[in-house]
Amino acid sequence: MNQRPIIALDFSSWQEVETFMQRFPEDEKLFVKIGMELFYQEGPVIVRWLKDAGHDVFLDLKLHDIPNTVEKAMQGLAKLGVDLTCVHAAGGVRMMEAAMRGLNAGTPEGKKRPLLLAITQLTSTSEEEMHQDQLIEVPLEESVIHYANCAKKAGLDGVVSSALEVQAIKQQAGDNFVCLTPGIRPEGTVAGDQTRIVTPAQAKEIGSTFIVVGRPITQAQDPYQAYQTIKAEWSQSNEY
Ligand code: C5P
C-alpha cells in the first residue's frame, strides 16, 4: 500500500539525525520512525521539525501502562500531528480502547487522527523466548493472531508483526487491517538481533501494508542508495 519504506531513525541525537538526513535530497519526502531512543533524548520538538520539513512520522513509543495513563499520553501525542503511533497489545483490550479514545480526543479539528497499531510480539522475540520469558505456551503465531484479534476488537487500525504472520492475521482480521512489519533484511545484509526476518520483496508478496527498515539503511555506506534499492524492491508490482 505505502510506496515508501519507513526509515527507523534509531539515533540518539538530533545531530546524528541531521547528518543522516543530509545524505538525502532535500525534496525527498520520507516516512520516518522516531523511537524511544531519539524521543527520550530530543523530545517533541524533533517530531515537529520533521513534520515541518514535510516528512511523515511514525512515533513508535510502544505504550504499555494502565488505561488512564495511556489515554492521557495519547491525547498529547495526537497534538503533535504524527501519522502513526502504537501501543503494546499485551496491555489489553481496555488499554487499547483507552489509547484510541485519547487519540480521538487529542487530534486537532480538521486534522486526521494518527493511525493506531498494536505491537503483537516483537520481531526480535523467538518462539522459545516467548515460552520461557512470557510463559505463553501456545505457538508464537497463535499468540500474534490472538493479539491481532484483541487489537481489532478494541477498534485499532492494525498491528505491528513480523511479515511471516501477515497472511494469518489478514485471514482473521480482513484485508484492510493494517500490517506494519519490521524485521526487514535485503538479501546479503546482517540480521543483527532480529530473528523473524524477510526481504522487502517477500514482505510485499506476503501483503505487508508498511515496512520499517532501520540498520540496512542507517548503517549503509550510502544510505540514499540503500533506501532507493529497498524502495524499488518494495514498491514494484508482484511479478514473481
Ligand atoms: O534496524 P532494524 O531494521 O532491525 O530496525 C527495526 C526497527 O523496528 C527498530 O526501530 C525496532 O525498534 C522496530 N520494531 C521491531 N519489531 C517490532 C516493533 C518495532 O523491530 N515488533
**65 catalytic per annotation:** yes
Q: Find the catalytic residue in 62, 72, 79, 83.
A: 62
Under a CB-based contact definition with an 8 Å cutoff, are residues 130 and 162 in contact?
Answer: no
Contact predicate 209/157, CB 8 Å: no
Q: Is 157 a catalytic residue?
A: no
pLDDT in tens, 31-67: 999 999 999 999 999 999 999 999 999 999 999 999 9
Counting atoms of ligand 1 from 1, which one is nearest the CA of 194? Answer: 4
Distance (angstroms) between ligand 1 centre and the Cα of 117 equals: 14
Compute the distance from residue 84 Cα to the ligand 1 centre, in Å.
15
113 is in an annotated binding site: no
Task: Locate the ligand 1 atom nearest the alpha carbon of residue 160 and give its number.
Answer: 21
The structure's pTM equals: 0.94
| Residues of the chain falling short of pLDDT 70 | 1, 237-240
DSSP string covering the chain, please?
A: --SSPEEE---SSHHHHHHHHTTS-TT---EEEEEHHHHHHH-HHHHHHHHHTT-EEEEEEEE-S-HHHHHHHHHHHHHTT-SEEEEEGGG-HHHHHHHHHHHHHHSPTTSPPPEEEEE-S-TT--HHHHHHHH---S-HHHHHHHHHHHHHHTT-SEEE--GGGHHHHHHHH-TTSEEEE--B--TTS--TT--S-B-HHHHHHHT-SEEEE-HHHHTSSSHHHHHHHHHHHHHS----
Query: Which residue(s) pair with 32 in the sheet?
Result: 7, 57
Instruction: Kindly give the pairing relationship between strand 115-119 and strand 84-88.
Output: parallel
Give the pLDDT confidence score for residue 146 in this predicted structure. Answer: 97
6-235 architecture in CATH? Alpha-Beta Barrel (3.20)
For ligand 1, say whether the CB of 200 is within 6 Å of any of its atoms.
no
* 170 assigned to active site: no
* Per annotation, catalytic residue among 27, 29, 52, 60: 60
Q: Look at residue 198 in the predicted model and tell me its pLDDT.
A: 93
